[in-house]
């Protein structure tokens, strides 16, 4: 199972490079422990354009990553895009590169992988990679993103529980309605990112 970082696992602090400002989202620890308890692989996929913008260093991104793992436990892979919106890379969500890279590192099939995120780009990246996308909306999630989400949940722990036990509590219609999120146009090949390359999230309502 793959998670977006900012706004999903931890509070969204734009371009955060300070470990002391890391705060887990409600239910985040319980959610990731539930996944670990099933013996499933865990990973993080995150746009961190603050690196390209000169607002962050890769070392600061790595410091935040270490703090997240202190609070939430270890993840099998951190796939990070350090590029800006106009760089034309294949890894920046909504492109599928981060999802492909994380799945390759974990040795899992994207078709058997779920991506949980808080904005439409997370779900679009999942769809483009052939994975399942689940939206957990926050106050910065745009209404059109909520309407377009094929699957959603009211909070992170509920999303994970429903993914782990779909017969008990199916995802979908009761949480969001609307057409499926469309994948992005063809872009450059996916990029595998090292654990040190995770940028910080952008302004409220948009992808970093």
- C-alpha torsion sign, points 50, 205, 16, 26: negative
What is the mean predicted confidence (pLDDT) over 164-174? 66
Token pair for 128: 């483009």
Torsion of CA 71, 8, 135, 108, to 10 degrees: -50
Residue linked to tokens 């919106």: 85
- Give catalytic residues, as residue numbers: 4, 6
What is the mean predicted confidence (pLDDT) over 32-48? 97
pLDDT confidence of residue 28: 98
pLDDT band at 180 (very low <50, low <70, confident <90, very high): very low
pLDDT in tens, 115-159: 999 999 999 999 999 999 999 999 999 999 999 999 999 999 999
**Contact status, residue 84 vs residue 52, Cβ threshold 8 Å:** yes
Chain-wide mean pLDDT for the chain? 86
pLDDT band at 166 (very low <50, low <70, confident <90, very high): confident
Residues across the chain: 208
What is the mean predicted confidence (pLDDT) over 98-122? 98
pLDDT in tens, 60-97: 999 999 999 999 999 999 999 999 999 999 999 999 99
């Amino acid at each position: 199972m793959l998670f977006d970082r900012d706004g999903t696992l931890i509070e969204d602090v734009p371009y955060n490079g300070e470990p002391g400002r890391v705060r887990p989202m409600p239910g985040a620890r319980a959610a990731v422990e539930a996944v670990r308890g099933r013996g499933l692989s865990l990973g993080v996929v995150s746009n961190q354009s603050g690196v390209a913008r000169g607002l962050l260093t890769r070392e600061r991104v790595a410091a935040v990553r270490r703090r997240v793992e202190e609070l939430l436990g270890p993840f099998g892979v951190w796939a990070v895009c350090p590029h800006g919106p106009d760089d034309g890379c294949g890894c920046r969500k909504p492109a599928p590169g981060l999802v492909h890279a994380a799945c390759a590192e974990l040795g899992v099939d994207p078709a058997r992988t779920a991506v949980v995120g808080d904005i439409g780009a997370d779900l679009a990246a999942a769809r483009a990679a052939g994975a399942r996308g689940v939206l957990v909306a926050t106050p910065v999630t745009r209404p059109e993103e909520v309407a377009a989400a094929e699957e959603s949940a009211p909070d992170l722990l509920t999303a994970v529980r429903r993914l782990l036990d779909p017969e008990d509590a199916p995802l979908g219609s009761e949480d969001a309605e609307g057409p499926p999120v469309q994948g992005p146009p063809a872009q450059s090949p996916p990029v595998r990112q090292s654990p040190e390359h995770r940028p910080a999230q952008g302004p409220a309502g948009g992808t970093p």
